[in-house]
């Protein structure tokens, strides 16, 4: 290595600090989650304690996915992905 050890460490530290700042800016710029969460009500309470896969199959008891808009056209009962987007918290 031609670079003296001390300088090398300084460079690494600066690069590390720089990447942290970049990451922070990225996170601050990320859009907020706007997808409606699973509601806490009589209809939905039972799903909070279920396994995601089990719960996901039951959504279509009440929610049809026939009116397929842009977002839901890939969200079929078979994919069970409802809770991937509609978070439970
Ligand atoms: C027993 C019937 C029933 C089942 C089963 C059901 N829902 Fe619902 N859901 C409703 C009704 C009725 C509404 C509208 C009233 C409301 O907003 O609470 C609703 C509303 C919603 C909303 C909109 C909430 C909002 O803030 O706009 C989401 C998201 C949702 N359900 C997701 C799910 C998911 C995911 C599942 C499966 C895990 C599921 N539902 C299963 C009856 C049901
Ligand atoms: C790829 C992510 C994604 C998946 C998967 C998904 N949704 Fe959604 N869903 C959304 C988004 C985003 C909205 C908000 C749409 C809007 O406000 O126009 C929404 C809105 C809803 C609403 C509320 C509609 C309203 O008028 O407020 C219901 C109910 C719902 N989804 C049910 C389901 C069910 C049931 C499934 C599984 C079959 C499902 N979603 C799968 C992203 C998803």
For the chain, give percent helix, strand, coil, nearest 5.
50, 0, 50
Q: How far apart are CA 30 and CA 72, in angstroms?
A: 23
In a domain, 37, yes or no: no
In a domain, 81, yes or no: yes
Indicate if 25 and 52 belong to the same structural domain. Answer: no
* pTM of structure: 0.77
In a domain, 18, yes or no: yes
CA–CA–CA angle 65, 66, 69 (5° rounding): 75
| Ligand 2 center–CA 36 separation, angstroms | 7
- Which domain range does residue 7 map to? 1-30
pLDDT digits (tens, 9 = 90+) for 33-53: 788 999 999 999 999 999 888
pLDDT digits (tens, 9 = 90+) for 2-12: 666 777 889 99
In a domain, 39, yes or no: no
Residues in the chain: 89
**How many domains, in total, are found in the chain?**
2
Candidate from 32, 35, 87 with most ligand 2 atoms within 8 A of CB, to mutate: 35
Helices of type H across 1-89: 5-29, 52-58, 82-85
In a domain, 35, yes or no: no
């Amino acid at each position: 290595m031609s670079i003296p050890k001390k300088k090398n460490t300084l460079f690494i530290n600066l690069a590390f600090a720089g990447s942290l700042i970049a990451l922070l800016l990225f996170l601050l710029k990320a859009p907020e989650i706007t997808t409606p969460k699973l509601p806490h009500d009589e209809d939905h309470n039972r799903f909070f304690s279920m396994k995601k896969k089990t719960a996901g199959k039951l959504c279509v008891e009440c929610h049809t996915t026939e009116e397929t808009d842009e977002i839901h056209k890939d969200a079929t009962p078979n994919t069970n992905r409802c809770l991937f987007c509609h978070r439970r918290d």
